[in-house]
Every structure is written in structure tokens, then in C-alpha cells.
Structure 1
Amino acid sequence: MAVTSDTPRRSPARAVKLLRESPWSARFGMAVILVYVVAALFAPAIAPYGETEIVGAEYEVWSEQFPIGTDNLGRDMLSRVIYGARNTVGIAFLTTLLAFLIGSIAGLLAATLRGWVDQLLGRTVDVLMAIPSLIFALLILTIVGTSVINMIVVIAVLDSTRVFRLTRAVSMNVVVMDFVESARLRGEGLWWIMRQEILPNIAAPLVAEFGLRFCFVFLTISALSFLGLGIQPPTADWGSMVRDNATLISYGDITPMIPAAAIALLTVGVNFVVDWFLHKTSGLKE
């Protein structure tokens, strides 16, 4: 009882201690992620104007009313950038979750069952990985349409191949352990073994991979939107915002670079946190 009652008090203290021991790069990354999450959750309250509201003339210069000007239709760029955090980051997060659900389950099945299941899944993944993912996504989206649901499913399936490779590789080192064999001899089912015995022992590399996969999915969605096959207008998206306002660069206006900088900043911040997490879970010393 003493351990149970003391656990809730230890958890916040341990989290604070872990944060204090983290390097400045990781703190910077966590601060960036926190800012983006707040912007995504509270976009309607933070943004001065609506997501699709036309509030001025086309390409108005930076002013007190429009801190970073307006876009090609007269919509406030600052509001669009804030709403873009909700759309781009939110869709990328859901896509990464789906990719991990598909890839991790397939990888665990391949490592646990082996035999023809491993061969079938492995060869399917090899075929999907043989084609550049962006080109493959462009091809499939051109055929099935450019709705958000189609984009999430297509990118998740293509990105799940990388998750499958990692999950299978790290699971292979666990399935041969004695405690897994003991679970089998006790008569435990396949899903119980995968969930209770294998998954907890491969959680650390999977969590780190989730951060890296999120960055790649995030960049893929932005690239597709820039090419016109991602998130469709009038939804605010950083990739399409760069494309729609790219003509301003010819006049020395850096406004189109702001959504591009938002993409780059989040990618750098997530990578800082992932690097620190990998170092922390690896057991290496400074």
C-alpha cells in the first residue's frame, strides 16, 4: 500500500527532475512542440480572423492590422498560419498513428509467427518500398482523389512499411527470450504475448521512431499540398500557403517563407526531443 500511495507523488517529481536534467536542445524542442500544440488546440481563440475570412485586399503589406500581410485572396496570413497548425499538424499526427498501428501490428505478427506470414509481409513491404513514397503517393492520390481521408490512408500505408521494418527487427531479438517461450508454454494467446511480453520491451525504439515518422509524414503532407494534391483549399495548410503566395518572393517579400519556417521549426524541435530520448533510453553517459 505504501508504494501505491507514494507513486502519484513520485511521478510529477520524477518528470520535473527529468526535465531539469535534459539538455537545452531538448528543452527548446519541447517548448516548440508545446507552442504548436497550443496553437492547434486554441486556433479559433488565438487567430485574429477566421480561417477563410477575406478581410482585406490581395497581398497587403505588413501592418498593425495585418502583422504579416494578406494572401492572394485577401485573407489574413497570421490567422492562416495559426489555423495551419491545427490542420497540418493534426492530420500528420493522425496519419502517423495509423501508420504505426498498421506497421507495428504487421511487424509483431511477422516476428512472432515467422514462416510464410513473415515472408508474405516482408515481400509486400519490399515492393512498396521499392517505389519512391512521394511519387507513389502522387500516383495513388491522382487515381483515388485528393480528399483528406484518402491522403491519410495512402500516406499511412506507405509509411507503415518503415514501421514494419523496425518493429520486426527489434521484435526478433525479443521473441527468442525465455520469458516469451514460457508464456507460450503456459498457453497464452498470440495477441497476449505480443501485447504483454514483446511490445513493452520494444517500446523505447518505437516511441523514438514515432517522432521521426511524424516529421517525415508532416513533410510529405506539406509537399503534397504544395503540389496541389494534399490538403485542399480553402483549408489552411502551410504547404499550399507557400505555393499560393510564392509570387511575392519575386518582389523581395518574405511572407511565403513564414509557413515554410513553421514547417522547418517543428521538424527541428521534434528531432531535438527524439535525439535526447534516444540518448536517454540507450543508457549512454555524457
Structure 2
Amino acid sequence: MNLRRIPLSAIVGMLVSFGFLFVAIFAPLLAPYELGQSIGDVWEGASDKLPLGTDNLGRDLVSRMIYATRTTIFIAGAATFISFSLGSILGFTAAVKGGWLDMILSRAVDLLMSIPTLIFALVVLAVLPANIITLILVMGILDSTRVYRLSRAVAVDINVMDYVEAARLRGEGTSWIVFREILPNALSPLVAELGLRFIFAILFLSSLSFLGLGVQLPDIDLGGMVKENKEGIIFHIPAALIPAFVISILTISVNLVADWILNRTSDLKGGRG
């Protein structure tokens, strides 16, 4: 990869994104204090000991945000992995098999997409046990409908190509056609969409946590930190705005990389034409 051909915005996005990933991986080593450790007064101001001050219970904001970033990235990443694994496989299979299977899957996806995602998630999470596994599964399954629509649309175009027809004439099965013929040729748009889905997962998780049905205590994510400290905004205390700012930086950095990949994919397609 020639770095000179990568836009400055994409390079900045990559550096910031890798910085967040580094923090998420080494959170226990980087955090000055334990997650629930109270070390000062409520909403204490910034100092040499506490660079960002304390939260609503006197806990170090820096330590809380390091652990919250880890939780946010882990849950969003796991949910995105599930959504892409489920959505792309079902989308490719529907495009290849066609007929009644394609009709049933497409109508089921249309039904799920007709219900507002946030409302659907709130109803489901209010009934199911409140834990991280449930949260990941709900987010991944709901978001897989968007991936299904994209992967099916891409696979329908690839499915009529000569090399796919040749694979059928050789007697290859559906699994071979999906994973060896369609998937490698559909990776470019899917990789670009991967970044956008990851951003959506971060914002979706933050919304759920702010509404009280996301990550539950003693775990914490960035959206939960905003909820914990929202009363401080009335008293001009930035404890809720700092994690909100971190969410913005994280989503913008990933979006810069996703935009570059999407533009690069479009340029490559134009070059082939």
C-alpha cells in the first residue's frame, strides 16, 4: 500500500482508530485506578492527580473512560461480526438459491426493517435477561438485516457472471459458489460497509445505555457514562460531555477510514469499466 496515495483524512482516521483499539486492548494496564474505585469528591475538577476530574460518585473519569472505551469497542465489534456473518451468508445464499427461499428471507427482512430498530431493541431487551451476551446478539441480529440487503444486492449481480455459471456447470454446490466465487468478489463493498455498520453499532449501543437498557452496572460503556453524569450539565460540569466527545471522535475516525475505502472501491470499479 502506497502511503502517498492515502488521503490525510484517512491516515488521521487510521491513527486515531488504532489508538482507540490500543486503549481497548490494554485498558487494565493504562487505567490509573480501578473501574469502581472512588478517589475524590463528587464531580471534582481537573488536577495533576485527576486530569479530567471525577464523576458523579467521585471516581476517576480517565479510568472510567478507558474501561468504557474497551466495553464499547468490544460490544460494537462483536455485534458487527455477528451482523456481517449472518447477513452476508443469508444474503448470498438467497441470491444463489432464489425461488421460495429468497422470497421468505427477503420478506422476513422487510418485516424486521419496517419496525424502528431502537424501539424493537428496547422491547426485546426489556423482556430478555440484561447481560452483555444478550445485548450483542440483539444488536447483531437487528443490524444483520441491513447487511442482508447489501450482500444480496451485490450477490445478485455477481451470480450471473460467467465464472459463477462455469462453477455451476462443474457441479459445484451452493457453499462453494457462496464462499469461493461470490464472497471474494463482494469483499470491497462489504468491507466499506463494515466500517459504517461498526459506527452504527457504537451509536446504537450508546443510545441503549443512555436509555438504561444497554450495558448494566458494574460494567460501563461510553453511553452509560453520559447517562451517569447528565445531571452535571445543569451545573456546568463537563463530566457527561467528555465521554460524548470521545464517542464523536471514535465514530468520526472510523468514518474517515470507511469513506476512503468506499471511494477507493468506487475508483477501482470505474477503472475496470
Taking the aligned partners of 1:146 and 1:129, their CA distance within structure 2 comes to 23
Task: Establish whether residue 281 from structure 1 lines up as the match of residue 265 from structure 2.
Answer: yes
Task: Establish whether residue 52 from structure 1 lines up as the match of residue 39 from structure 2.
Answer: no
Equivalent position of 1:158 in the other structure = 142
Deviations 1:232-283 (CA, angstroms, capped at 9, x unpaired) = 1121211011111111111112221110011111111111111111111212
Matched residue count: 269
| 2:226 maps to which of 235, 242, 253 | 242
| 2:7 maps to which of 23, 32, 36 | 23
Taking the aligned partners of 1:66 and 1:89, their CA distance within structure 2 comes to 24
CA contact (8 A) 2:151 2:190 kept: yes
Deviations 1:87-130 (CA, angstroms, capped at 9, x unpaired) = 01111001000010110011011100000000000000000000
CA contact (8 A) 1:226 1:242 kept: yes
Identity %: 50
Q: TM-score of the superposition, structure 1-length normalised?
A: 0.92
Q: Structure 2: which 5+ residue stretches go unaligned?
A: none
Which moves more between the two structures, 253-262 or 95-104?
Answer: 253-262
Which moves more between the two structures, 54-63 or 147-156?
Answer: 54-63
Task: Establish whether residue 233 from structure 1 lines up as the match of residue 217 from structure 2.
Answer: yes
List aligned pairs for 1:254-265, cutoff 5 A.
254-265=238-249
List aligned pairs for 1:35-114, cutoff 5 A.
35-114=19-98
| 2:158 maps to which of 174, 184, 187 | 174
Superposed CA RMSD in Å reads 1.1
List aligned pairs for 1:79-228, cutoff 5 A.
79-228=63-212
> Where has structure 1 moved over 4 Å in runs of 4 or more?
none
CA contact (8 A) 1:52 1:235 kept: no
Taking the aligned partners of 1:152 and 1:255, their CA distance within structure 2 comes to 27
Give 1:57 shift.
2.3
Give 1:73 shift.
1.6
Letter of the 1:84 partner, please give it: A
Q: TM-score of the superposition, structure 2-length normalised?
A: 0.96
Taking the aligned partners of 1:241 and 1:135, their CA distance within structure 2 comes to 22
